[in-house]
Chains A and B, each alone.
Chain A
Amino acid sequence: MRDIRRYFGVLLIMLIVTAALAMKFPAQADEFTKEDVARWTKEFTTVVNEGSRLFHSSTLGKNKVSCDQCHPNAANTHPETYPKFQKQIGKVITLFEMVNWCLRNPLEGDPLAADDPRMVALLAYILHERRGVPLAPGKH
């Protein structure tokens, strides 16, 4: 019984402290403004545009071939189907690994780390061109 009373006591103190803090500091973590959204969208668009530039660049690989030569508007890349089994690699892979396959083979260049800003930009562009398509992991 004493334990329960102590429990409610602590709970009451926490509520009072939370209410006091909320009055002093308006909510920050759980609310965002139109300006925030505009800034985040702008950040995203900047990365998509950089991805588009790289996707159309003759210097991403080493033989002047660019991604868009085979994939205009990033078509036929099917980002919504990853991760999926690639029979030629023999396992389930994510999209960045397939991008690296293209960098090594048709572009005769070097692969990029998964968190390389250039890889992030390429993936952002590829997915942006595919926006609105339902996810279909594993689809062939």
Chain B
Amino acid sequence: MKMNRRTFLKTTGAAVVASALPMSLVRVAFGAKNPAQDFTFAYISDAHIQQIEGSKFVRNWDMGLIRAIQEANLLTPRPDFFFFGGDLAQLGKKEELDHGLDIISKLRGKVYYVIGEHDYYLDLGKYWESKISPLWYSFDHKGVHFVVLNSILTYDKWTHKNWTTPMDRMLAMARLDNPEGSPFLVGEKQREWLKKDLERVDKSTPIVLCSHSPIQKIYKGWNFWTDDAESVQTLLKPFNKVTVIYGHVHQIQYNQVGNISFHAVMATAWPWPYPKSYVQDPSHLPKLTVPMNRADPFFERDATGWQFINLRTGNVDMHYQLPDNENRSVVFNPKTGSPKDSKYQDVSRHIPPQNHY
């Protein structure tokens, strides 16, 4: 190739960008027999964009979302689409949702949205529904059936009790450790819809269900919990390959319940402690989970991140992108029929920062 100055600058520029990236972003290993059916998507969640006043927003949370989007824009090959996993806003305000959407508009690709409690409890999802996305829906992509649920509903008597203002309700739900909180719920209406939606789907079709709260019960005190989780799981039982992906918990979690694999995603805003580090109350982290590294508060992006996912086997291979930490991969193991960390699963491989207390 004849190299003039312009092409030299172009190619070295690309080389510099590529060498600054983790290798995992440059090439995704594909293995499906039919490449057309082989696809990846990326998952960004829990940005918690927080307004200070007027056009001033908390810089730290802005930077988390901006960084995730800049990195995701460098994925090669391109993911087929993106998910945003909920809690775009901190207090459900239009200003926060608009500012978040403005940052997300830089993402190159289609985005599917899941609503979180921080987006919902100010106006009960009205602005979200009018401007961003339906609250629950399904779609098919290259032989996989995707379902999105609004899993952060709760009992009517709490939602519609005598709140002084809608913001009081929002603040009550936004406080994770609120003893006056209320457990999350998918609810009968959506479960009926889900039942009908799944009736037309072949039992061998891989199912990926995306919700904000875990459709399993880990710790009720912080709503790492969905009250009707078992009823939703029952609807998913007839299918061969089922994965539930959830946000809300701001940490690595994975589990296998019967035929269902569970994966949590990282937040871009801040990490949360594992429930067992609150010693006054019992909790139930899935035994399979090898925790993320304990956060170093002096590096504000530590223990945050985003993930890309490939579905070449019909099960989810989750690749966590963790700034200044070794990236983690949690991959479905067909031999054991459950997700497995590709490096740290064995207890002898655990490292000191994975010890939470």
A residues neighboring B (CB under 8 Å): 56, 63-65, 68-73, 75-76, 78, 88, 101-102, 105-106, 129-133, 140
Contacts of B357 in A (CB 8 A): 78
Can you spell out 22 A-B residue pairs with CB atoms less than 8 angstroms apart? A63-B50, A63-B52, A63-B58, A65-B50, A68-B175, A68-B176, A68-B177, A69-B270, A70-B297, A72-B177, A73-B177, A73-B221, A73-B278, A73-B280, A73-B281, A75-B273, A75-B277, A75-B278, A105-B300, A106-B270, A106-B300, A131-B280
B residues neighboring A (CB under 8 Å): 48, 50-52, 58-60, 175-177, 221-222, 270-273, 275, 277-281, 294-298, 300, 352, 356-357
- What residue in chain B is nearest A52 (Cβ atoms)? B177
- What residue in chain A is nearest B174 (Cβ atoms)? A69
How distant is the Cα of A133 from the Cα of B277 in the complex, in angstroms?
Answer: 11
A76 touches B295 (CB 8 A): yes
Contacts of B277 in A (CB 8 A): 75-76
User: SS class of chain A's interface: helix, strand, loop or mixed?
Assistant: loop
- What residue in chain A is nearest B357 (Cβ atoms)? A78
How distant is the Cα of A55 from the Cα of B164 in the complex, in angstroms?
Answer: 23
Contacts of B51 in A (CB 8 A): 64
How distant is the Cα of A133 from the Cα of B273 in the complex, in angstroms?
Answer: 17
Contacts of A76 in B (CB 8 A): 273, 277, 294-295, 356
Contacts of A78 in B (CB 8 A): 357
- What residue in chain A is nearest B50 (Cβ atoms)? A64
How distant is the Cα of A133 from the Cα of B276 in the complex, in angstroms?
Answer: 13
Select B58's contact among A65, A68, A75, A88, beta carbons within 8 Å.
Answer: A65
Q: With A69-B270, A76-B273, A132-B279 in contact, is A102–B177 under 8 Å at CB? A: no
Sample of 4 further A-B pairs with CB below 8 A, known A72-B176, A75-B273, A106-B297:
A63-B50, A72-B273, A72-B278, A132-B280
B279 touches A133 (CB 8 A): yes
Contacts of B177 in A (CB 8 A): 68, 72-73
Most buried by B among A72, A106, A130: A72
Closest 5 A-B residue pairs measured CB to CB?
A76-B273, A72-B177, A88-B298, A75-B273, A75-B278
B9 to chain A, nearest CB (A): 38
A135 to chain B, nearest CB (A): 13
Contacts of A140 in B (CB 8 A): 352
How distant is the Cα of A93 from the Cα of B165 in the complex, in angstroms?
Answer: 43
A70 touches B279 (CB 8 A): no
How distant is the Cα of A68 from the Cα of B278 in the complex, in angstroms?
Answer: 13
B281 to chain A, nearest CB (A): 8
- What residue in chain B is nearest A140 (Cβ atoms)? B352
- What residue in chain A is nearest B61 (Cβ atoms)? A65
Contacts of B272 in A (CB 8 A): 70, 72
A70 touches B271 (CB 8 A): yes
Contacts of B278 in A (CB 8 A): 72-73, 75, 129
How distant is the Cα of A72 from the Cα of B60 in the complex, in angstroms?
Answer: 19
Contacts of A72 in B (CB 8 A): 176-177, 222, 272-273, 278
